[in-house]
Amino acid sequence: MAEPIAFIDGEYIPANEAKIPILEPTFTKSDVVYDTISSTDDLIFRLDDHLDRFENSCQSMKISPPYDRNEIASILATCIDKTGYRDTCTTLMGTRGPYKDILSRDPRTCQNGLIAVSVPYYYVIPKDKAEQGVNLSIVENKRVPSESVDARVKNFNWMDLTRGLLEAYDKGGDSAILCTPDGKLSEGPGFNIWFSKDGELKTPKGNLLEGITRKTIFELATEMGIKATEIEVYPEDLRNADEAFTSTTAGAVASIIQIDGKPLGNGAPGILTGRINDLYWKKRKDGWHGTPVKSLLN
């Protein structure tokens, strides 16, 4: 039977048995970085891009997992392989690990670790919602600014995003879009934002996670002959767009059809959005940027 699998403390175990000690700063200080990688049809998508970003995140927090890049790729593939699922999302975590003694609070004394966990491929925005289009709320709660925590260092410090999400639910939204403290659009909980205006694609720049799917959409736009740029975006720019969508590893593209309950564009999933999503999945099916899981197994 297929089941989620974790690699933790050097062993592969069922993911629902994998746990973190409550006394570790990995938990009590959320002192951990991560990356989430998808595989479909046993092909890992953009492995090197994800490993590059994961290494950057680790370095930025001075976390040194006890495995090299090739070993991490092999652990990732082994987790996927052991699940029995053909389509997965796998999270790699670089953990601060336990303090040298229970009364210390010095992160330099910690033994850093690596955890990986593979689950069935999932959708940050549920698949049915993504297809019919979502209503996103531009919430009051602000995204943490880069000068406090660099969003490019992928981390579990999600309280601003969770607060934004809860605020969006209260307002009847399916999910949230957060702005930076200076009022620019940033991102939502687990996804980047895109919109088109007069046939050109735009996405917010700065103070956000630079998503691998976001990067992919720049490449798809080039292939489709569509101009795509990252710029400073304000809520009004999004509200006045012709169409808009979210991008993320877990679910790819989802149409945004309303902002704060008001129709965006014609209030239906956009044609350009659909073309991008179709091309994304067609190319993945053709093996684009794909690394076979089997090629990484020991």
Interaction site with its own copies (CB under 8 A): 4, 6, 8, 15-16, 18-23, 25, 27-31, 34, 61-62, 91, 93, 102-103, 105, 107-108, 115, 117, 119-120, 122-124, 141-145, 147-149, 153, 155-163, 165-166, 169, 181, 189-190
Calpha distance 176→190 (Å, rounded): 10
Closer residue to its own copies, CB minimum distance, 107 or 206: 107
Calpha distance 120→40 (Å, rounded): 10
Least gap, CB of 200 to its own copies (angstroms): 31
| DSSP structural state of residue 238 | H
Closer residue to its own copies, CB minimum distance, 151 or 201: 151
Calpha distance 88→42 (Å, rounded): 9
Characterise 220 by phi-psi region: left (phi > 0), alpha (psi -120 to 50), beta (else).
Answer: alpha
Characterise 251 by phi-psi region: left (phi > 0), alpha (psi -120 to 50), beta (else).
Answer: left
Closer residue to its own copies, CB minimum distance, 178 or 220: 178
Least gap, CB of 94 to its own copies (angstroms): 13
Q: Residues of 163-189 as b/e, b for ≥16 C-beta within 10 angstroms? A: bbbebbeeeebbbbbbbbeeebbbbbb
Least gap, CB of 33 to its own copies (angstroms): 9
Tell the residue number behind the tokens 């966990």, with chain if given: 117
Closer residue to its own copies, CB minimum distance, 44 or 116: 116
Closer residue to its own copies, CB minimum distance, 124 or 257: 124
Least gap, CB of 215 to its own copies (angstroms): 22
Least gap, CB of 28 to its own copies (angstroms): 6
- Judge whether 33 and 92 are in contact, CB under 8 Å: no
Closer residue to its own copies, CB minimum distance, 226 or 250: 250
φ and ψ at residue 45, rounded to 5 degrees: -90, 125
Least gap, CB of 208 to its own copies (angstroms): 13
Closer residue to its own copies, CB minimum distance, 92 or 193: 92
Calpha distance 272→277 (Å, rounded): 9
For 82, the token pair is 């052991």
Least gap, CB of 93 to its own copies (angstroms): 8
